[in-house]
Homo-oligomer: A and B are copies of this chain.
Amino acid sequence: MKKYIYPKTNEWEKLTERPTQSFKEIEETTKLIFKDIQTNGDNAVAKYTSVFDGVVIEDIRVSQTEFLEANQQISAELKVAIATAKANITKFHMIQKRSKIEVETTMGVNCWMEKRPIEKVGLYIPGGTAPLFSTVLMLAIPAQIAGCKEIVLCSPPDKNGKINPAILFTAQLCGVTQILKVGGIQAIAGLTFGTNTIPKVSKIFGPGNQFVTVAKQVATQYGVAIDMPAGPSELLVFADESANPRFVASDLLSQAEHGTDSQVIFATTSKSFLKLVENELKSQLTVLTRKEIAEKAIENSKMILFKSAEEALDFINLYAPEHFIICSKKEEYFVENISNAGSVFIGDYTPESAGDYASGTNHTLPTNGYAKNYSGVSLDSFLKSITFQKISKEGILNLGKTIEIMAEAEGLQAHKNAVSIRLKALQNEY
Per the 8 Å Cβ criterion, residues 94-121 of A in contact with B are 95-96, 98, 101-103, 105-106, 109, 111, 113, 116-119
Q: Knowing A103-B360, A406-B134 touch, does A422 contact B388 (C-beta < 8 A)?
A: no
What separation, in Å, do the CA atoms of A413 and B292 have in the docked complex?
13
B389 touches A81 (CB 8 A): no
What secondary structure prevails in chain A residues at the interface with B? mixed
Q: Which of chain B's residues has its CB closest to A372's CB?
A: B202
How far apart are A109's CB and chain B's nearest CB, in angstroms? 5
B351 touches A419 (CB 8 A): yes
Q: Knowing A344-B386, A359-B109 touch, does A380 contact B380 (C-beta < 8 A)?
A: yes
A343 touches B389 (CB 8 A): yes
What separation, in Å, do the CA atoms of A108 and B83 have in the docked complex?
18
What separation, in Å, do the CA atoms of A430 and B109 have in the docked complex?
63
Within 8 Å CB of A390, what residues of B? 345-347, 350
What separation, in Å, do the CA atoms of A338 and B117 have in the docked complex?
11
What separation, in Å, do the CA atoms of A253 and B414 have in the docked complex?
6
How far apart are A208's CB and chain B's nearest CB, in angstroms? 16
A378 in the interface (beta carbon within 8 A): yes
Interface size of A by CB at 8 A reads 127
Within 8 Å CB of A347, what residues of B? 390-392
How far apart are A9's CB and chain B's nearest CB, in angstroms? 16
Within 8 Å CB of A80, what residues of B? 402
A254 touches B414 (CB 8 A): yes
What separation, in Å, do the CA atoms of A344 and B347 have in the docked complex?
46
How far apart are A430's CB and chain B's nearest CB, in angstroms? 13
A290 touches B414 (CB 8 A): yes
A260 in the interface (beta carbon within 8 A): no
What separation, in Å, do the CA atoms of A344 and B390 have in the docked complex?
9
Q: Which of chain B's residues has its CB closest to A256's CB?
A: B414
Q: Knowing A375-B385, A403-B353 touch, does A92 contact B85 (C-beta < 8 A)?
A: no
**Contact stretch, chosen from A51-59, A175-183, A303-311, A362-370:** A362-370
A244 in the interface (beta carbon within 8 A): yes
Per-residue contact bits, chain A 110-138, to B (CB 8 Å; 1 contact, 0 not):
01010011110000000001111110000
Within 8 Å CB of A388, what residues of B? 335, 343-344, 346
What separation, in Å, do the CA atoms of A111 and B85 have in the docked complex?
13
A425 in the interface (beta carbon within 8 A): yes
Within 8 Å CB of A244, what residues of B? 425
How far apart are A348's CB and chain B's nearest CB, in angstroms? 8
Within 8 Å CB of A294, what residues of B? 414
B111 touches A406 (CB 8 A): no
Contact of A391 among B113, B350, B366 (CB under 8 A): B350
- Could you give 20 example pairs across A and B, Cβ below 8 Å? A77-B405, A78-B405, A81-B405, A84-B399, A88-B399, A92-B105, A95-B103, A106-B359, A129-B411, A130-B412, A202-B373, A246-B425, A343-B386, A346-B388, A347-B390, A349-B392, A349-B422, A350-B391, A353-B415, A354-B399
Q: A92-B111, A355-B387 are in contact. List 15 more A-B contacts (CB 8 A).
A: A81-B401, A82-B406, A88-B109, A95-B102, A105-B359, A133-B409, A134-B410, A342-B386, A344-B388, A349-B422, A352-B418, A354-B419, A371-B386, A372-B384, A380-B385
